[in-house]
Structure 1
Amino acid sequence: MTAALVEPADVDSELIGRCYTKARRTPLVVGSVPGGAGRSLRLPGGPYTLTQLTAIVATFVALILSRPLWGGHGLMEVIVLLGCPFGAAFLLRHLHIDGRNPAAAAASVAVMMTGPRWGLLHGRPFRPFRSVRGDTLITLAADGARADTAPAAVRPAPRPAPATPAPDAAAGVPVASGVQALLARRAASVRTQLEE
């Protein structure tokens, strides 16, 4: 990421950051094989990335090892032995996963699968904290009651069964959550408006 120094007067202005990392990630390519006497052998169809060269060699070796299964067709063997590796290299040239070559994507997937479940934080496996579940009791005072007349010791109420709030929820009946308390207060204010 490229950063520019900001003058003190420009602190309130908008900051713009630009990233040129992708432009710097040009792949290492091989276009020729060095030979003797100062001459080098130019690879046909090249230059090739390291992923493409690996695919060419691996496909060629696999075809040679499996030749008893598919071989015995004369000139067709030569076409298969040359065509399949270069076909694989051509496919890998145009195949990009998330802007990366398939070998880098496969390495990323392997690292992700073998790494810790929640990732790393400061070089160590991250373990999220388990939430502690607590009981909360919310009591709404009746219309005429004052807040200072509430009992001094309040014991936690048992967890109510999930149900729709009753119309008399604003009359001092405990509610399960703050949302239900707001809904009960709203229902009570609407009820008083209708009575007036």
Structure 2
Amino acid sequence: MSAATEDAEALVGRSYTRARRSPVVVGVVPGGGGRSWRLVGGPYTVTQLAAMVVSVVVLVVARPVWGGHGLVDLGVLAGVPFGAAFGLRHLHVDGRNPAAAAAGVVMLCVAPRAGRLRGRPLRPVRPACTGAVVTFGQGPGPVRAVPAVEAPAPGPAGAGQAGSAVPVEAPVASGVQVLLARRASLGD
């Protein structure tokens, strides 16, 4: 074998799962004049940043319900988003961050029931409706053994019907036919 065929037959497997699982993180926010601001407590994943922004918006909108306590409001407005980010840093569902797990659940719910084939929803073909008729009643009578019938065996090419006779068996009754025949013969 040549080296080219050996290389073609060698199976090579590569796994990039570990590289794909490393989260995208944000540690700095670009500022004006070439300066960047380092995020306090960072770097944060995109899920953590989204949780921080959502919690700040919810707290500001709901301030009439929980606010009105002066400096305590600032502590709550700073503490709740950082607490949510800290909780999401250590929360993992099957080794994934919660946003990826939630996206997986949503994709599962909106996916076609039968799955996809070549990027399109699979539409399973329904079986054609075939009619079957089952008749119960008097059978044809008792089943009798039929002797084997001899049919001429095919001979050499061009010999026609010449050759020795080969026994061919007659059709055999099924087990149900035998039972029905027995029942009919007992009833007579």
Q: TM-score of the superposition, structure 1-length normalised?
A: 0.60
Residue among 67, 71, 77 paired with 2:73 = 77
1:148 matched to 2:170 = yes
Of 122, 125, 130, 1:126 maps to 122
* Aligned-residue offset at 1:78: 1.3
Could you say which structure has the higher strand fraction? Answer: 2
SS of alignment partner, residue 22 of structure 1: helix
The CA distance in 2 between the partners of 1:32 and 1:40, in whole Å, is 6
Looking at CA atoms only, which structure, 1 or 2, has the larger radius of gyration? 2
Please give the secondary structure, in 2, of the residue aligned with 1:41.
strand
Letter in structure 2 aligned against 1:125: P
Cα deviation for residue 20 of structure 1 reads 2.7
Q: Which moved more, 1:62-71 or 1:106-115?
A: 106-115
- 2:100 equivalent to 1:104: yes
Considering only aligned residues, what root-mean-square deviation do their CA atoms show, in Å? 3.5
Distance 2:179 2:48 in 1: 72
1:40 is aligned, of 17, 36, 42, to: 36
Listed as ranges, the gaps of 5+ residues in structure 1 are 138-143, 155-168, 175-196
Tell me, in whole angstroms, the C-alpha distance in 1 between the residues paired with 2:145 and 2:76: 92
Q: 1:16 to 1:89 in 2, by over 3 A?
A: same
What's the TM-score, normalizing by structure 2?
0.62
Unpaired runs of at least 5, structure 2? 135-143, 147-168, 181-188
By how many angstroms is 1:113 displaced? 1.6
Q: Which residue of 2 aligns with 1:114?
A: 110
In structure 2, distance between residues paired with 1:131 and 1:97: 41
How far apart in 2 are the matches of 1:6 and 1:72?
78
Secondary structure at 1:98 match in 2: coil
**Which whole-Å CA distance do the structure 1 matches of 2:110 and 2:96 have between them?**
20
Q: In structure 2, the residue corresponding to 1:73 is in which secondary structure?
A: coil
